[in-house]
Amino acid sequence: MSATQTLQSRRLPRPSAVLELLKPVTWFPPMWAYLCGVVSSGVALGERWPELLLGAALAGPVVCGMSQAANDWCDRHVDAINEPGRPIPSGRVPPAWALGVAAAMSLAALALGWLLGPWGFGGVALAVLGAWAYSLEPVRLKRSGIWGPGLVGLCYEGLPWFTGAAVMAAAAPDGRVVAIAALYAIGAHGIMTINDFKAIEGDRALGIRSLPVALGPERAARVLCAVMAAPQVVVVALLLAWGLNWSAAAVALALVAQAFAMRRMLGDPRGRAPWFNGAGVGPYVLGMMAAALGLGLGLG
């Protein structure tokens, strides 16, 4: 390490740069999924507000924030190509600091998860393990366009949903809750692929086989849409079978809205992927809550 690099590693980064490292914009999905789990459990909040607030904070700022810091540290060479303005390649956060933040937040997540009881701690422990397995060598599941988005979809949607329901019930969730959470986690595989369209050059240069790299942007976009839509069709069918008709109708409407967004995105997948991240994902997460409300009323 050169003298300049040593000096940079000892420099205290600005709080704004550390916050950027934690990517607050990514915290919403797991927090929303945890809330869906709470709602779908059918358990009245009553005096359970601490579990709701602590679980949401863990899902978003703590665990998701930690995963972003870990990913940026592991991806610092990729980001130097794709996003040189990110905190680490730009020099605003030294790599040693980023690794320290990720490690400290991992320990903090486990300590706080212990306060949520065995179900909460188990969910947090799996999420922390998944975050490091996604980014860190030699596992680095991010290299795969199948396993990488699948793991993130599970940790962003399915695991927080399951954990929220389990923490509220202090027991394993109802099988219907598990089924819906799993289906939305599968659909989230497509959502997580959206972010790969902006990193094609860097991923290709460093051997990361994301779907846009492996299949090309057009074919990857079609796969993305199919993976998002198919589980929601099953969700609608299950909700109808369980007599939750209004909930099924709301999810179906959300899927129709996504279909219009998908059609526009398919015309220029690479250029419109950022747009689809809002226009397509918004109805998806609204459908999640509609399904959770239906389950909660049915189980309550």
Q: What is the pLDDT of residues 62-71, one digit of tens each?
A: 999 999 999 9
Distance, in Å, from the CA atom of 57 to the CA atom of 52, rounded to the nearest integer, reads 9
Tell me the per-residue pLDDT of 197-253, one tens digit each, with 9 for 90 and over: 877 877 787 777 888 888 898 999 999 999 999 999 999 999 999 999 999 999 999
Question: Do 109 and 124 contact (CB within 8 A), yes or no?
Answer: yes
Q: What does the pLDDT read at residue 204?
A: 81
Share of the chain above pLDDT 90, in %: 74
Residue 75 belongs to some domain of the structure: yes
Q: How far apart are CA 160 and CA 179, in angstroms?
A: 14
User: What's the pLDDT band for 3 if we cut at 50, 70, 90?
Assistant: very low
Residue 11 scores a pLDDT above 90: no
Q: Which whole-number Å values give the CA distances from 99 to 12, 74, 96, 104, 182, in the listed order?
A: 14, 9, 5, 9, 31
Q: Is 81 a residue whose pLDDT tops 90?
A: no
Domain-located, residue 2: no
pLDDT tops 50 at residue 164: yes
Judge whether 174 lies within some domain.
Answer: yes
CA proximity to 243, closest of 288, 294, 286: 294
Structure confidence at residue 195 (pLDDT): 81
The CATH number of residue 151's host domain is 1.10.600
- Is residue 12, in this structure, part of any structural domain at all? no
- 261 vs 5: which has the higher pLDDT: 261
- Residue-wise pLDDT for 128-152, tens only, equals 999 999 999 999 998 888 898 899 9
Does residue 24 belong to any structural domain of this protein?
Answer: yes
DSSP 78: H
pLDDT value, residue 8: 47
Q: What distance in Å separates the CA atoms of residue 157 and residue 136, rounded to the nearest whole number? A: 21
Output the pLDDT for position 285: 95
Read off the pLDDT of residues 242-297 as tens digits, 9 standing for 90 and up.
999 999 999 999 999 999 999 999 999 888 988 998 899 999 999 999 999 999 99
- The secondary element (H helix, E strand) that includes residue 192 is helix 175-194
Please determine, for residue 6, whether its predicted confidence score (pLDDT) is greater than 60. Answer: no
Does residue 127 form part of some domain?
yes
Average pLDDT over the chain, rounded to an integer: 91
Q: What is the mean pLDDT of residues 152-180?
A: 96
In a domain, 3, yes or no: no
Inform me whether the pLDDT recorded for 61 exceeds 50: yes
Separation CA 183–CA 236 (nearest Å) = 11
Q: Cβ of 195: how many Cβ atoms within 10 Å?
A: 16
- pLDDT over 60 at 10, yes or no: no
Is there a domain that residue 10 lies in?
no
Query: How many structural domains are present in the chain?
Result: 1
The structure's pTM equals 0.91
**Given this model, what pLDDT does residue 205 score?**
76
Handedness of CA 98, 69, 137, 209 (dihedral sign): negative
Range of the domain at 225: 17-299
DSSP 175-241: HHHHHHHHHHHHHHHHHHHHGGGGGHHHHHHTT-B-HHHHH-HHHHHHHHHHHHHHHHHHHHHHHHH
